[in-house]
Chains A and B, each alone.
Chain A
Amino acid sequence: MARKLLLEHINVPGINTFDVYRSKGGYAAVEKALKTLSPDDVVEEVKKSGLRGRGGAGFPTGMKWSFLAKPEGVERYLVCNADESEPGTFKDRYLMTYIPHLLIEGMIVASYALGAKTSYIYVRGEMMPQIRILEKAIAEAKNKGFLGKNILGSGYDLELYVQPGGGAYICGEETALLESLEGKRGNPRIKPPFPAIAGLYGCPTVVNNVESIAAVVPIINEGGDEYAKVGIGRSTGTKLISAGGNLRKPGVYEIDLGLPVEEFLYSDEYCGGIANGKRLKAVVAGGSSVPILPANLFLKTINNEPRLMSYESLADGGFVSGTMMGSGGFIAYDEDQCIVRNTWNFARFYHHESCGQCSPCREGTGWMEKVLHRLEYGHGKMSDMDLLVDVSKKIEGNTICPLGDAAAWPVASAIRHFRDEFEWHVTHPHEATTRNFGIAHYADPLPKLEEAAS
């Protein structure tokens, strides 16, 4: 069993309180960083660790930190993005609920590294219990002298605030989050300037995911080089995966990056296989916005190599036959699930959550939703599939923020891989409303490469 770095003590009773957390070696990273390391050393350690952003894009965290502009006499801010609203992702909520001090410890170290005097945790508005938990934890830490003025006698001051979010998916986009945090409507800003230059209140700002910030704690405790030994290639460290869907044991799992997908899905230590003895049909590997893959392409890459849970391996094959790590919202579909209905459901979500600022996303998401609704309820046409692909192409890459891409990818990939099922919905409209297409050939072993080429 692989060693856990974030969730090591998750089952200790009372780990959500300061005293128990401290007795299990908590806040050692704060002591180490503030007493023995300079801010630049901390950034250097994070760079060495190769930690990549856990929120979805996978941008190296250390690099992001080193891009932060540091003009004299201007405040700098660290903002933790806890507006976790991606369908299928629930790892941050789990972490904040059960081990809030890990996030706070990470926030202190990261704020110290960036020289931020005020830091914010922007929590999704619907997560009111988590907001209370975090506020309580912050009060505890402040009582013990880990927050506030002159932390541990080091002369470093830090105030940490929790901000309830605006209740929109778009507020998880970093610039929309900053707008919302400033008290405005959560519309994404037009970049450039990037937040590292002009972010919150026009000051240089770093926005990081909850898990990225929590991962700073083991990095400081053990050193960046040690952390980099976990994982595979450029995907270092451990990752929280929130596994859901038709699994025997859904839940949040901490895995070493590079774990074979097959092991994650079927071993008893993790998901334990598909529920009710059914077969796997399709997988969304990293939250609703990443491309969906049929079972055969998910377990093996197009070159017939086993796929691994890592940024590179999941993306193997690009958009033609690969997917993305995303935020780690792993959704498995068994043979009884309807991909058309699922795609419609995702499209409905993005239609509802589009901010309405730029035209391709505002109008295109609604259009796709309506066409998919028509297909799902048996009124579709053969030309609808090409129409959907075309509309998704018109949205993708032409919008202000990545929500347009996130809306376009699941639709485009579902049609790419499950076209038969969409066509069946058109040719058998009545049957499509009463029964499902079934697993068909989606779990068949991939053809050998030579055959595929011929």
Chain B
Amino acid sequence: MKVTIDGFPIEVEAGTTILNAARMIGGDIVPPAMCYYSKLEGTGGKCRTCLVQVSKGSEKDPRPMPKLVASCRTTVMDGMEVKNITSPEVIEARKGVVEMLLINHPLDCPVCDQAGECHLQDLGYEHGAAKTRYEFDRRTFEKIDIGDKIQLHMTRCILCYRCVFVADQITDHRIHGILNRGDHSEISTYIQKAVDNDFSGNVIDVCPVGALTDKTFRFKNRVWFTKPVEAHRDCENEKCGGKVTLWYKGEDVIRVTARKDEYGEAEEFICNTCRFDKKKTSDWVIEGPRKVSNKSVINSNHYDTLHPLPVVKTNPVLIEANKEQFERETRL
């Protein structure tokens, strides 16, 4: 089946969603996705950030679709033409969705462990407005410990339902879910029952924001001060592949996560033993440093040479103004 996205044609199999077709093309035309997770069945369609415009339905029925569609849940038809970043309506709608997602978000990024690898941060940076128009109190919740390893900070949650699908599909039983309705709905467990399962830690990895955080890593460090390294071990759990990313601070492993691809999705889910208990270098076989995009904030502190930023280098006024600081930094 042939589908054209923002003018880029690609051949895909029947049943592929528009989002996955766009990911095959790659680059700027890939719609952002906050709730869709390709490894989990049935996710998607909820956050509405991946809305695209279908300007031609298919070869057989060339009528455009009347509304914007969620690209993660709409399958391609032969000859379909899709507009993502070339459509002003899509840009406008996406801006609206980002604004909606942020109106009840606490924006406590300076103290949030997810900062630096948060999808909502990226989304807000790339598609949102600089200033909010919301002038009311934000919805807040108490922090809840679910089990001794995971903390739920519901205030930050964007209700993507990913962690619910993880519990359904990866762990053997689900004891948390959505309570209530509308903007007071919350992820919770009945009488705060502990989530205790071999694979429960994966809810941390799939959470796009800082709502579910690793208690063994909480407030230990900022992501961009740590150094990611790929590693593996022979895990005694059959379902766990044991392929992980270790996050080093100096000599110490301070966090273990699943390996994530460029869309922030875990390649393989890992078990709780690997995630929480194996925090010594001797537990692991190191494969090498993890490749991190040079656009990522995680990269910025490690391999930074002490050169001034490109924008400063070309602007004589800024060079003059920053001279003193440059001197100090070069001395360092």
Contact = CB atoms under 8 A, between A and B. Distances in A.
B194 to A, nearest CB: 23
A185 B185 CA distance: 12
A349 to B, nearest CB: 11
Majority SS at the chain B contact face: loop
A398 interface: yes
Given A363-B101, A394-B99, A397-B67, A358 B181 contact: no
A366 interface: yes
Interface in B194-253: none
Contact of A370 (B44, B99, B136): B136
B97 interface: yes
Contact of B97 (A359, A387, A393, A400): A359
B156 to A, nearest CB: 14
A370 B288 CA distance: 53
Contacts of A351: 182-183
B96 A394 contact: yes
A357 interface: yes
B84 to A, nearest CB: 15
Contact of A359 (B158, B180, B181): B158
A354 interface: yes
Interface in B69-120: 70, 73, 93, 96-97, 99-101, 103-104
Given A367-B134, A398-B96, A359 B48 contact: yes
Contacts of B104: 363, 366
Interface string A328-370: 0000000000000000000000011111111110111111001
B181 A398 contact: no
A399 interface: yes
A359 B182 contact: no
Nearest to A364: B100
Given A190-B70, A370-B136, A359 B185 contact: no
A355 B180 CA distance: 8
A399 B73 contact: no
Contacts of A78: none
A360 B39 CA distance: 25
B72 to A, nearest CB: 9
Interface in A39-91: none
B51 A398 contact: yes
A167 B145 CA distance: 31
A290 interface: no
Nearest to A170: B181
Contacts of B178: 185, 356
Nearest to A393: B96
B93 A356 contact: no
A397 B49 CA distance: 13
Contacts of B48: 358-360, 398-399
Interface in A372-398: 387, 391, 393-395, 397-398
A357 B46 contact: yes
B271 interface: no
A168 interface: yes
A394 B96 CA distance: 6
B183 A363 contact: yes
Contact of B45 (A353, A356, A370, A400): A400
Q: Which 5 A-B pairs have the closest CB atoms?
A: A394-B96, A356-B185, A190-B45, A363-B100, A354-B182
Given A185-B178, A366-B104, 13 more contacts: A190-B44, A190-B70, A352-B181, A355-B185, A356-B180, A356-B183, A357-B161, A363-B104, A365-B183, A367-B100, A391-B96, A395-B96, A400-B45
5 contacts: A354-B181, A355-B185, A363-B183, A364-B100, A366-B104
